[in-house]
Amino acid sequence: MPDIVTLTINPAVDIFVNVGRVEPTRKMRCSPPKRDPGGGGINVARVAQRLGGDVTAIYPIGGQIGKLLQRLVELEGIASLVTPSHVETRENFTAFEETTGEQYRFVLPGSRLHRAEWEAVLDRLATLASKPKFVVASGSVPPGAPDDFFARVAMHAKALGAKTVIDTSGPALNEALTEGVTLVKPNLVELSEYVGTPLDSNEKQVAACRKLTLSGRAEIVALTLGENGALLVTADHAWRAAPLQIEAVSTVGAGDSFLGGMVAALADSKPLDEAFRVAVAAASAAVLTPGTGLCQPHDVKRLLPEVKIREIEAATL
């Protein structure tokens, strides 16, 4: 059994092209498309595997695009446990406008799953022959799957004796935190929506994260802050990572790279603060890669010594 099992209920094939300029009406001649396997959990699996993790990915597939997705995942050296879907697996589309350096992302919702189809994904997790160290459920919930899908993942992971890592948003995040998880990775918008108030200062951000840990909803909160770095908070400690001064090529996949780096390091028994350092290096490396390529190991290794983290004073609740 691998150390890390990822679960993606709404996977996709991500298509990336370059185009001179995005304009209405006229035909826009694009570069040959690059296709990558996608969806939050699959992206986490890709990064964790690149950084030395032993990973298996669970996800549903449907139609010819689903078969392509499985081939793309396995080409990256990741074992797949797939379940059938009656609908074609979705595609996402990203266009890089060469004249401005802007990216245009078109993200499809995914087709509606039948109850038996999303339950089959949970059954693959529940019937694993032996327990992994970590179960990572990441990404969006497609139509047809219940809001508490990620909470059910957490419940099954606990039954296996595995640590549960969740990265989602909206009602799915609310339900998962009600169940309680080991680690949750919201971004600032997602956490602000969850607590129902702007988190416009370091003190408010730390306080919101610590409230989750003290309530038993999450043992660890990794809050990504984009160009302002990241926070890592437990009941007893809080660390802030400063952003690296690099020129971003693409921000696509930075959050997934952060989480993949974090989980790979934790599965390798790295201390929590060191795993945080790897996560920040992986997220920073991801923005150097165009499109949906995610971070590359040589960039992570090069950037790791530049990552600066410091333990900060906890907010008073």
The set of catalytic residues is 256
- Could you count the other beta carbons within 10 Å of the beta carbon of residue 144? 16
Which of 214, 316, 224, 218 lies closest to 261 in space, CA to CA?
224
**Tokens found for residue 263:** 């989980």
d(CA 249, CA 90): 25
For residue 32, give the 3-state DSSP assignment.
coil
Please enumerate in sequence order all residues whose Cβ is within 8 A of that of 41, keeping only pairs 6 or more positions apart, or say none: 6, 7, 8, 11, 57, 58, 59, 136, 137, 138, 139
Query: What is the dihedral sign for C-alpha 247, 48, 210, 314?
Result: negative
Cα angle: 173, vertex 229, 93; to 5 degrees: 60
Backbone angles phi and psi of 197, in degrees to 5? -155, 150
d(CA 268, CA 3): 9
Max Cα-Cα span within the chain: 57
Question: Is residue 62 within 8 Å of residue 88, measured between CB atoms?
Answer: yes
CA dihedral 19, 99, 295, 205 (to 10 degrees): -120
> Vertex 310, ends 307 and 312: CA angle to 5°?
150
